[in-house]
């Protein structure tokens, strides 16, 4: 977790944690059916967008240096 805090900002970590918590809640509420699997795909897209934003910010920092 310390490595994630070094590499990602607080907003990104918050987004990932909220997405993970919501997915776990849906998984326990609905069971392992089609709906939670669809929710998992949406969660993965959300995490992918957060990581893409991180990569863009790192690229901007490198170009300013």
The model carries a pTM of 0.57
pLDDT at 4: 56
pLDDT at 28: 80
pLDDT at 38: 77
User: Which residues make Cβ contacts (< 8 Å) with residue 36, sequence separation at least 6?
Assistant: 23, 26, 27, 30
pLDDT at 1: 47
Model confidence pLDDT, tens digit, residues 6-52: 667 777 778 778 878 877 887 787 776 767 777 777 778 877 887 78
Quote the domain boundaries for residue 8.
2-64
What is the number of structural domains in the chain? 1
pLDDT at 44: 80
> What does the alpha-carbon distance between residue 15 and residue 40 come to, in Å, rounded to a whole number?
15
């Amino acid at each position: 977790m310390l490595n994630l805090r070094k590499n990602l900002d607080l907003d990104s970590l918050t987004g990932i944690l909220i997405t993970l918590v919501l997915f776990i809640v849906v998984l326990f509420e609905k069971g392992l059916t089609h709906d939670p699997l669809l929710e998992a795909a949406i969660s993965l897209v959300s995490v992918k967008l957060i990581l893409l934003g991180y990569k863009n910010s790192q690229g901007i920092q490198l170009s300013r240096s």
